[in-house]
Copies of this chain bind each other. A is one copy, B any other.
Amino acid sequence: MLRHNAVMLELAILGFLHDVPLHGYELRKRIAALTGHVKPVAESTLYPAIKRLEKAGLLARRTQPGAGAAPRHVLTLTAEGQAELRRRLAHPADVDITDENRWFTVLAFLRHLDDPSAQAEVLERRMAFLRQPSSFFYEGDRPLRAEEVEDPFRRGILTIARATSQAELSWLRRTLDTLRAAADD
C-alpha cells in the first residue's frame, strides 16, 4: 500500500543507482536536477525513502569518510533492487502513465528496461492515453474543444494541452518505429 509520490521518488532512487553507486546527498542533487525545477524533494522525504528501500533489501549501504563533512553512506542496488526497478518500469501504475511528472520519471529510466518490446509496451500505454479524447471541460458528457470555451485561461489550458499532446504523439510514433525495428533483429 505505497503512496504515489513515494513510488516515483523510489523509482528515481533505484534508477540513478542502477548506473552507479551514490550517497544520499549526491542522489538528492541528481533528483533535484531531474525534477527539482518542477517540484523540489525535501531531505526529510529522501532519507526515509532510502531507509525504506534498504529495509526492503533493494539497497545496500557502506560507509565512507565524507568530503569535509559527516561520513557518507554509499548506496548500491542489490540484485533484488535491479529486478524491482525493472518490474516497476515494465508495469507502471496508471497514474504514472497519465501524470506528466511521473511519466517523465518513468521515461528518464526506461532505458534500464533492456528489452525493446517491453519498452514499446510502456510507450503504447502512454499513446493510448493521449489518444483518448479527454478534455478538462465538458458540456454534459461531451468534451469541449478550445474554440468552444470563452474563458481565455481555460482556453489556454486546452490549447497548451493539445500542442503537448501532438508533439508527444509524433515523438511516440517515431520512437515506436525504431523500437519495433530493433525488436525485429
Contact = CB atoms under 8 A, between A and B. Distances in A.
A164 interface: yes
A135 B101 CA distance: 14
A42 to B, nearest CB: 11
Contacts of A154: 107-108, 111
A146 to B, nearest CB: 10
Interface residues of A, number: 40
Nearest to A138: B33
- Copies of this chain present: 2
B38 A98 contact: yes
Contacts of A168: 156, 160, 163
Contacts of A60: none
Contacts of A101: 99-101
A154 B19 CA distance: 15
Contacts of A35: 136
A20 interface: no
A140 to B, nearest CB: 11
A47 B126 CA distance: 31
Given A153-B108, A154-B107, A137 B33 contact: yes
Nearest to A107: B153
A138 B30 CA distance: 9
A37 interface: yes
Complex A-B, nearest 8 residue pairs according to Cβ-Cβ distance, in ascending order: A163-B167, A37-B134, A164-B164, A110-B153, A107-B153, A160-B168, A111-B151, A156-B171
Interface of A: 33-35, 37-40, 95, 98-101, 104, 107-108, 110-111, 119, 134-138, 151-154, 156-157, 159-161, 163-164, 167-168, 171-172, 175, 178
